[in-house]
């Protein structure tokens, strides 16, 4: 087939102007019933009470609200937007006896009884994907980073795939599914990739190829527009960004800030390499897929493939080195403290480890929910001794 034939259904994807390495952060929150610790289906009522608010959005499930920052220059500014939006929710949720927390999944909620937001878009998704679509009881963190040049989008996407699994390990917070210990650090990743346009992205070489892909998908009815492509890393043409969507929802602001800072620094470091005329490393798709599975299964104990040559390293060793090597970039971006916050996860363990420790200390899966509520209030991950103390106090 000739290259021109592949463009027959081409969908133009104009890339919006965006200032380099500006940032946007999206954080999905669980609505927790204070008495049962189960999820509450009250997002519509909450959103009616707080609208209009550009930083508080609805999501697919009625047990979820999403906090969204503006397009900012620093991680601190994004987190300020999100913290203020969180505080604006409290006068609405308090009378409902609803608390806010987050993680990639809820420790015991039944996926099959959750209600979907009543919109045509979500109804279409559930109708097409049936059981898999109806039980998308998952919560994520998304980070957008601005690109000043569309030509950088696909090379940086491919380069990010050499480190996406590391971000996935750090954020892994979904060991449970319907109350069961899955044996996975990040069961959310396993669930989400069941959707036909989710999972690891196609590593396309040119923007023309991306527009041909979008056109083919629209022509055959798989999607209605490019925003329905839910890859782990994707260009966001309407915003002029590269978006990392591979991470579970953070359980606290310190770890949310750490993931945002690490993502911003990685994109900026890759952008600088392109400016120097360097070719960015890219791994074959089978390495990317293997890393995604290893990070989902083993989390912070994963030995990940780090480059196109197939070299491997324990994820914590790579992350330690990344934080050190990216420190000068963080200084330029004004996110030194937030990047350093990644070490809090290295010291306390990732959320899935903390949740499992809470459950194994006694109190069942409800103890994991209490831990999530405590961490969102503390604004940081709780240390192992604090997790034990929390469980002991009931």
Residue ranges of the chain with pLDDT lower than 70? 1-7, 118, 121-123, 125-126, 129-134
Q: Which fold has domain 22-393?
A: Creatine Kinase; Chain A, domain 2 (3.30.590)
- Residue 220 CB coordination number (10 Å): 9
Q: What is the dihedral of CA 156, 231, 214, 132, to 10 degrees?
A: 170
The closest of 74, 77, 18 to 239, measured between CA atoms, is 18
Which residue, chain included where needed, has tokens 């396993």? 190
For residue 387, the SS3 value is helix
Handedness of CA 53, 54, 56, 60 (dihedral sign): positive
CB count in 10 Å sphere of residue 374:
17
What local confidence, expressed as pLDDT, does residue 2 receive?
43
Domain map (residue ranges) of the chain = 22-393
Separation of alpha carbons 119 and 99, rounded Å: 25
Supply the pLDDT for residue 130.
63
216 half-sphere exposure, CB direction, 13 A CA radius: 10
Residue 26 has φ and ψ, to the nearest 5°, of: -125, 130
Phi, psi values for residue 235, rounded to 5°: -70, 145
Q: What are phi and psi of 14, to 5 degrees?
A: -60, 135
CA-wise closest residue to 105 among 3, 8, 11, 186: 186
Distance from chain centroid for Cα 220? 28
E strands, the chain, in order: 23-33, 56-58, 64-68, 98-101, 140-146, 176-177, 180-181, 198-199, 230-231, 233-236, 241-248, 303-305, 312-314
* Sign of the torsion angle spanned by Cα atoms 372, 350, 345, 387: positive
């Amino acid at each position: 087939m000739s290259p021109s034939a592949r463009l027959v259904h081409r969908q133009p994807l104009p890339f919006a102007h965006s200032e380099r390495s500006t940032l946007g952060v999206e954080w999905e929150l669980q609505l927790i019933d204070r008495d049962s610790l189960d999820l509450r289906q009250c997002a519509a009522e909450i959103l009616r009470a707080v609208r209009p608010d550009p930083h508080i959005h609805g999501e697919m499930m009625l047990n979820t609200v999403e906090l969204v920052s503006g397009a900012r220059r620093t991680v601190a500014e994004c987190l300020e937007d999100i913290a203020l939006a969180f505080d604006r929710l409290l006068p609405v949720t308090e009378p409902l006896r609803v608390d806010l927390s987050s993680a990639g999944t809820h420790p015991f909620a039944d996926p099959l009884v959750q209600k979907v937001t009543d919109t045509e878009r979500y109804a279409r998704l559930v109708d097409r994907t049936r059981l898999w679509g109806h039980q998308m009881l998952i919560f994520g963190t998304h980070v957008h980073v601005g690109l000043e040049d569309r030509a950088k989008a696909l090379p940086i996407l491919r380069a990010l795939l050499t480190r996406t699994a590391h971000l996935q390990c750090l954020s892994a917070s979904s060991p449970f599914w319907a109350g069961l210990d899955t044996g996975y650090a990040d069961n959310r990743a396993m669930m989400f990739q069941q959707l036909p346009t989710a999972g690891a992205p196609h590593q396309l070489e040119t923007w023309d190829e991306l527009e041909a892909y979008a056109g083919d998908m629209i022509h055959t009815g798989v999607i209605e527009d490019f925003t329905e492509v839910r890859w782990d890393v994707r260009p966001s043409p309407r915003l002029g960004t590269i978006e990392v969507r591979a991470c579970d929802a953070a359980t606290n602001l310190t770890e949310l800030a750490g993931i945002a800072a690490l993502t911003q620094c990685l994109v900026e470091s890759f952008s600088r390499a392109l400016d120097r005329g360097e070719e960015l490393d890219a791994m074959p798709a089978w390495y990317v897929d293997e890393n995604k599975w290893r990070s989902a299964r083993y989390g912070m104990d994963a030995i990940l493939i780090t480059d196109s040559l197939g070299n491997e390293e324990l994820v914590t060793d790579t992350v330690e080195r990344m934080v050190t090597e990216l420190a000068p970039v963080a200084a330029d971006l004004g996110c030194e403290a937030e990047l350093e916050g990644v070490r809090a996860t290295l010291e306390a363990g990732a959320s899935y480890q903390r949740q499992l420790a809470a459950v194994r200390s006694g109190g069942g899966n409800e103890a994991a929910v209490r831990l999530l509520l405590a961490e969102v209030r503390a604004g940081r991950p709780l240390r192992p001794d604090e997790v034990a103390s929390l469980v002991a106090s009931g």
